[in-house]
Amino acid sequence: MAKQIPGRMCIGCRTVRPKNELLRVIRTPEGQITFDRTGKQNGRGAYICEDEGCLGKAFKQKALKSALKCEIPEEVYNELKSMLLPEEKS
Ligand SMILES: [Zn+2]
């Protein structure tokens, strides 16, 4: 059998995808909500597709809140959204 990459479920669309195709969103011990692009930061984490739609769903359906076990203020959501879509360099 072929080696399997561990799958993780996106908290937005609930699709299971290989871990390396998902973004890890974490709550740091300091209480900051951020993306962990190294996958090595400490904190309670959840996985999500690098997709604004999934982030929106996760926020609206409170999946992000329950995954991270804390309230997600709208500013934090907006901040995550802006981290997701880096501005195109012109
Ligand atoms: Zn997704």
Report residues of the chain scoring pLDDT below 70. Answer: 1-2, 85-90
Residues with Cβ within 8 Å of 16's Cβ and at least 6 positions away in sequence, in order, are 7, 8, 9, 10
pLDDT at 84: 87
The pLDDT value given to residue 87: 62
What is the pTM assigned to this prediction? Answer: 0.85
pLDDT at 90: 62
Please report the domains of the chain, with CATH numbers, ordered by start residue: 8-84 (3.30.1230.10)
How many Å lie between the centroid of ligand 1 and the Cα of residue 32? 22
What are the backbone angles phi and psi of residue 4, rounded to the nearest 5°? -105, 135
Question: CB within 5 A of ion ligand 1: which residues?
Answer: 10, 12-13, 49, 54
pLDDT at 5 (0 to 100): 76
Distance CA 90, CA 77 (A): 26
| Extended beta strands in 1-90, E state | 7-9, 16-18, 22-27, 33-36, 44-49
Q: What pLDDT is attached to residue 86?
A: 63
How far is it, in rounded angstroms, from Cα 11 to Cα 37?
17
Ligand 1 center–CA 10 separation, angstroms: 5
